[in-house]
Amino acid sequence: MRFTFKIGSLAFMTAMLLLAALHWQVGIARADSPLTSTAFHEAYANVAKVNEARKSGLTKSVAAFLASEKTALAEKAAAIHAIYAGAGAWEERDLASQYAKLAYGKALSSLAAKTLRPDEVFVVGYLKAMDRYLAPDTAWLAAAKDAMPGSMTAALVYALAQSQAQPDSALYGWCAIERVLNDASLKKDMRQDAIDRIKNYMMLYKNGECKDELALLLEQSVALTIEGPAVLIYGKPGTVDSEDAAAKPHVQDGVTLVPLRFVAGAFGAKVDYDAKKREVAVAYAGERLIFVEGEGGERPLRVLNGRTFVPLRTIAEALGKQVYYDQGLIILSNGISLNPQDGHDRALAEQVRKRLAELNTA
């Protein structure tokens, strides 16, 4: 009995140690990220309010410090990071809402970016991103960055947030930080020690040499335009349908329709049409996706002049592709999400539009 008990105890202790190790690893995985692990606030340890933020969190006086127009943007960023770093375990929070109440006496939902100073938009945006650090909302940070185009602080924090939001995107991670640091148009409005802390951590994400952004986007995307026959398939020029120039993306009844066979084929999917059932089967990534002719159903299909068309969003979701759509430009990509409201992303997409325009007029 004693021998059996010892073995059972050993097994139990081993199991507990394994569970503890697993829990520790999960905790590390959750906390180790561009937003949480770049402890640049430590470079501002001599700033009283940054220390207060680290020790006491979002107090009324820290909120006033963040809201003040006189506070340097980098010190605001440091204080915000210190608030979350000082809380101990990383978890989702709702400090942006608390800040809105403390600083403005309003609900967060009632704040409008267009009525605030750029630095105020930055503060709210950074708080919103840190609150949901596993899947950060970067819209306000994008607006702040665009409103302060010369700020390295705004650009770096946005790059960190986007690297967290799109961990598999070739546009972010270390390369996003490198682009910011090499941008001569930016004013170095952050202490060098803080910049070095961000740089040194993000270098852990470095995977080879950084490529040109446009080249990266093109090699991961299929791009086309409404009513345009020309396309870019992983950067290479082509046409939607070499046999039918009329088979182009178009808008019908407010819905953007794209040629199913072209889009599916561009991403390597196999397409089969069953005339009797009036449906198309798309084989992709081990799955068989069925599109049925008509307006109803999960994946509706339309047949126009002998060509099958599907709603843009439907085929993108079915194939698991990111969609950028702005003023007739369509970019479907593998893991690269562009935001039409982000000036940087929009400028990048416009370079793609320019290339397509040249092909369409050639």
CATH number of 218-361: 3.30.457.10
Helix, strand, coil in percent for the chain, rounding step 5: 50, 15, 30
| Alpha-carbon gap, residue 79 to 95, rounded angstroms | 13
For the ranges 67-81, 133-147, 166-180, 295-309, the maximum mean pLDDT occurs at 67-81
Instruction: Give the per-residue pLDDT at 296.
Output: 67
The mean predicted confidence, pLDDT, of the chain is 88
What's the rounded mean pLDDT across residues 15-22?
41
| Alpha-carbon gap, residue 214 to 352, rounded angstroms | 8
Instruction: Give the per-residue pLDDT at 295.
Output: 67
| Alpha-carbon gap, residue 88 to 82, rounded angstroms | 11
Q: What is the pLDDT of residues 225-241, one digit of tens each?
A: 999 999 999 999 999 99
Give the domain ranges of the chain: 32-210, 218-361
Backbone angles phi, psi at 296, to 5 degrees: -85, -175
Tell me how many degrees the CA angle 346-129-23 measures, rounded to the nearest 5: 130
Give the residue with greater pLDDT, 10 vs 5: 10
Q: What is the pLDDT of residues 338-347, one digit of tens each?
A: 989 888 899 9
Q: What is the pLDDT of residues 49-67, one digit of tens each?
A: 999 999 999 999 999 999 9
Q: What is the pLDDT of residues 147-206, one digit of tens each?
A: 999 999 999 999 999 999 888 777 888 999 999 999 999 999 999 999 999 999 999 988
Residues 36/133, Cβ–Cβ less than 8 Å: yes
In sequence order, what DSSP letters do the residues of 231-261 get, joined into one string?
EEETTEEEES-SS-TT---EEETTEEEEEHH
Question: 3 pLDDT exceeds 50?
Answer: no
What is the pTM assigned to this prediction? 0.74
Instruction: Give the per-residue pLDDT at 33.
Output: 87
For the ranges 171-175, 205-209, 262-266, the maximum mean pLDDT occurs at 262-266
